Structure 1
């Protein structure tokens, strides 16, 4: 993930036709993969691009603990495996560093791991209490949470639904409704409060 000549642990930025943008951060670095937008990621799961603020959000699985929510910036290093809030699955430590100069700290991190799966920014008028918030789903603890966004990142986090099963995917349909893909249950529609 720290090696710019390799694919693993990177978020790439490409044009829709597969071309590499000429203003990518490492396009002039001969040995680097030119498609790299950011690096030092462990396992990104959900991403959301907010067109209004031009902000790319991503969350990723940590090891045992240390799941992260990040705002992705061009050329930024997100630290894996040099920094982490988690430990190995057997409980042993692989690093004692949680923050380091030159590496982006997460906006949020979760320990124990919640196993985040997907997220979306609610823009539908069908859910006035959720509009403008990021929805984030958990596979491990079977919940859907809402994150209130502020200019500093996330100002508040609260659960919208609990005990709903392992949520794999979220989508806001063209009809304005939010749909959840849940293991063993199929697709469910989130009904607005009346």
Structure 2
């Protein structure tokens, strides 16, 4: 039973509709709380509007206070909790403790899912730039890059429907150490991004058709686990010696 519930922050404006809520929360080493919030779907331009909470990654103290060094605290009418903007629908968020950085995976439209390194005050481009298109096949924009907007570390065409993610830190998987594992909903696999620092070298599809992978996590004992919906599996990845 949940007790002593406390509302820390409210995203505004209130928005009707049932999609692109974001939904991920992580803490960093200084106990700042980062949370993702999608663009709400029907109005993609929300993501570029600093007076609007939607389509953003936010950063607050664990008691709901706004950090004084957030990037837009002195911007007139801006939402003070915003850490980054131009994020369509962030479904994955993970804190890289070893390197003190935050990674995010977000759904594109039809194509254009992204893996992003989340950095203070940066604009990740949605819907001005994207590698995806509308679901009816028409273009959203005719550009995939623009000055002042971040490029994804890697992206997915067609979409895999990125979801929960983790960074491999365990010695149990030496060949994967530092790599990022992302659950795929639509494509029903685990996507391993072979990383060299902050650079993505390649992608590997693992455990194809195990179901819609909602979350991939590394446990305190160093093993990797994934949980699926539809097939209802809890999967443990055991290294072959």
Classify the TM-score, shorter chain.
over 0.9
How much does 1:160 deviate? 3.2
**1:42 maps to which residue?**
88
2:88 is the alignment partner of 1:9: no
Runs of 4+ in 1 over 4 A off after TM superposition: none
127, 132, 142: which one aligns with 2:173: 127
- How far, CA to CA, are the matches of 2:53 and 2:97 in structure 1? 27
Match of 1:69 among 111, 115, 122: 115
Q: 1:186 to 1:162 in 2, by over 3 A?
A: closer
Cα distance in 1 between the residues matched to 2:107 and 2:69: 29
Flag structure 1 segments of 5+ consecutive residues without an equivalent.
Answer: none
Q: Give the 5 Å matches for 1:137-176.
A: 137-176=183-222
The 5-angstrom pairing of residues 26-41 of structure 1 reads 26-41=72-87
Match of 1:179 among 211, 225, 235: 225
Quote how far apart the aligned CAs of 1:171 are: 1.6
**Cα deviations across residues 79-111 of structure 1 (Å, max 9, x unaligned)?**
111111111111111211111111111111111
State the number of aligned residues: 194
CA contact (8 A) 2:178 2:197 kept: no
Q: TM-score, normalised by structure 2?
A: 0.76
- Deviation sequence 1:6-54 (CA, Å, 0-9, x none): 0110100111111111100001112100100000110001011112222
Q: Distance in 2 between matches of 1:68 and 1:45?
A: 10
TM-score normalised to structure 1 length: 0.94
- Larger CA deviation: 138-147 vs 4-13: 138-147
Pair 1:100-2:146 in alignment: yes
Q: 2:168 and 2:119 mapped to 1: Cα distance? A: 22
Q: Over the residues paired in the alignment, what is the CA RMSD in angstroms?
A: 1.4
